[in-house]
Structure 1
Amino acid sequence: MVIEVVAGVIANSIALISDAAHMLTDASAIALALVAMRIAARPARGAYTFGFKRAEILSAQINGVTLLLLVAYFVYEGVQRLVDPPQVSGPVVVVTALAGIAINALAAWLMSRADRRSLNVEGAFQHVLNDMYAFIATAVSGVVVWVTGFRAADAIAALVVAALMLKAGWGLLRDSARVLLQAAPSDLDPDEIGRLLAADEDVVEVHDLHVWTVTSGYPTLSAHIIVARGADCHSLRVRLSRLLHDRFDIGHTTLQVDHGAAETGEHCDDPHGPRHLGRTAREH
């Protein structure tokens, strides 16, 4: 990164300097990811009944915001240099960018072997991967400036870098915001889950169904299950918990199972969300 800053100043290349700034966020993202993982590994205690697992999500949010702030700066600088392109040293840009491609390719390969289901790890990986793409764009711009003398190519490369950073940053913010807002995981449909639970022959109604993610790869579910009179509540709860685990890979479930009055499904004065009626209740 330091070498790239020096080379960027010598070559008068905004593309190299933007790459260097992006590399600084790479280092920060990896450091933040490591700290977040250490915090998330702490056991649950006191008021923090889920522990500190969402520290990883906060880390992903910070990484996403950092990328978007850099996008704003480099778009501003890139547009200015498009209007008035400065003199750029093509050979210095090319040599520095090729070295950057090799270093970031190695870093991206190492991080690709980690568990990228974690938004925290994915955030750090996206930083490194986008930096490698940015170096490729910078190398191409250096060749263009060197061979053709088209100085605006350097500014165009900086804007390409900004576009890549925008895509990665927005994706991180979107996915981490879903977790913070307790939305259902993108690969799980609460309505489908509710219908499947209600399809059991002993279920009268399913309501208060909540599906959310504590942190990456940690889907959680709670629901209120009304069962037919005479049904075995305990065996039904075990059966439905196993179904949720096998069908949707939800290992942390809390099911409140009660017998319904006259099998009408009426039990809560104000059930949250949609009510999924079982066959008995629909016939009734």
Structure 2
Amino acid sequence: MGAGHDHGQQVLRAGERHRGRLWAAFALLAVFMVVEAVGAWWTGSLALLSDAGHMFTDVLGIGMALAAITAASKASRDGQRTFGLYRMEVLAALANAVLLFGVAVYVLIEAIRRLGEPPEVLVGPMLAVAVAGLIANIVAFLLLRSGAQESLNVRGAYLEVFGDLLASVGVIVAAGVIALTDWWYADPIIAVAVGLFILPRTYHLGRAALRVLVQAAPPHVNVAEVRDGLRAVEGVADVHDLHVWTLTSGMEVASAHLTLDSDADLAGVLAGARRTLHDRFAIEHATLQVEPRDADGVCGGAQW
């Protein structure tokens, strides 16, 4: 019996309602990605190139987020997709993390190579492009901030934009140092700093996505406490085959077998279990199998 059947609406709240903001951020960053790429080629700045590469992953990540949200909202319920395509959001977040990792590694390698003999860069255009990129990132950051707390995919794009915002600040600092001191090492050093800043955030995003894909329990849900909570429901003698996992952002799912007392009221047990899962653990969708005491060992629990 499903304890709440509004999981589709949960996903719409977590992802689709932020679609307009995602589109606005996508368009803004796509334009400035081209501007920064051209500026990096023109000025010869590796720091600016790293910022452009980071912005490319922003654009790609937001594009994948939009594609995933669209696929999830329009997925046909054809019997083979009993949960639609909600996992597309998580897959997009994981791909986003991999791409961001690749950009960070490239920037680090190129920066280390340039430390041996840093080339001169055109400081004026470098500074102008970096300031424009900073403004674009601030606007995109504000657009995505509200959705980052609800959707893993939006959070991935939000983190990338935040990292890119700081990278733009770094490019501005590098341009200022070069303009004032002619110390050309500032450009590859800032590029290294940007790469090192990206890596841990990429790790955390990838880990969060993998946690969902391997169907681990959500970090904020203690499975032992869920078991104890269900056992405390009036009429429940025991709980076994309990599983808790995340289908996609904002959709926690559980399944469990409940062994009932001989005089238990079936409807009351199911209602109590549903309230417990919903009120204490924010689990909106659950499948509960109820069994009499004398069915011990007959339910055919999984032997994985």
Whether TM exceeds 0.5 here: the answer is yes
Please provide the CA RMSD for this pair. Answer: 1.8
Aligned to 1:140: 173
Residue type matched to 1:149 in 2?
D
In 1, distance between residues paired with 2:136 and 2:185?
A: 26
1:31 to 63, 88, 93: 63
TM-score (norm 1): 0.89
Q: Are residues 1:266 and 2:299 paired? A: no
User: Alpha-carbon deviations, 1:79-134, whole Å to 9, x = none?
Assistant: 11122222223333222211111111011111223364211111122222211111
Contact (CA 8 Å) 2:147, 2:155: kept in 1 or not? no
1:114-263 counterparts in 2 under 5 A? 114=147, 116-261=149-294
Aligned to 1:10: 42
Contact (CA 8 Å) 2:234, 2:272: kept in 1 or not? no
Residue type matched to 1:234 in 2?
A
Residue type matched to 1:38 in 2?
T
In 1, distance between residues paired with 2:266 and 2:34?
A: 65
For residues 254 and 203 of structure 1, do their structure 2 counterparts lie closer, same or farther at Cα, with a shift above 3 Å needed? same
In 1, distance between residues paired with 2:62 and 2:237?
A: 50
Contact (CA 8 Å) 1:118, 1:217: kept in 2 or not? yes
In 2, distance between residues paired with 1:54 and 1:7?
A: 37
Number of aligned pairs? 270
Q: Which runs of 5+ in 2 are unaligned?
A: 1-32
Higher relative contact order (CA 8 A, sep 6+): 2
Contact (CA 8 Å) 2:94, 2:206: kept in 1 or not? yes
- Following superposition, the deviation at residue 40 of structure 1 comes to 0.8
TM-score (norm 2): 0.84
- Following superposition, the deviation at residue 201 of structure 1 comes to 4.3
User: Alpha-carbon deviations, 1:158-191, whole Å to 9, x = none?
Assistant: 1121122212221221111011100111110111
Aligned to 2:132: 99
In 2, distance between residues paired with 1:121 and 1:230?
A: 48
Q: Which runs of 5+ in 1 are unaligned?
A: 274-284
Contact (CA 8 Å) 2:252, 2:285: kept in 1 or not? yes
User: Alpha-carbon deviations, 1:16-59, whole Å to 9, x = none?
Assistant: 01111111222111211111111011242221111111111111
Aligned to 2:15: none
Q: Could you tell me the percent identity over the aligned residues?
A: 38
The runs of at least 4 aligned residues of structure 1 exceeding 6 Å deviation read none
Residue type matched to 1:5 in 2?
A
Contact (CA 8 Å) 1:116, 1:122: kept in 2 or not? yes
Residue type matched to 2:198 in 1?
M
2:88 to 29, 37, 55: 55
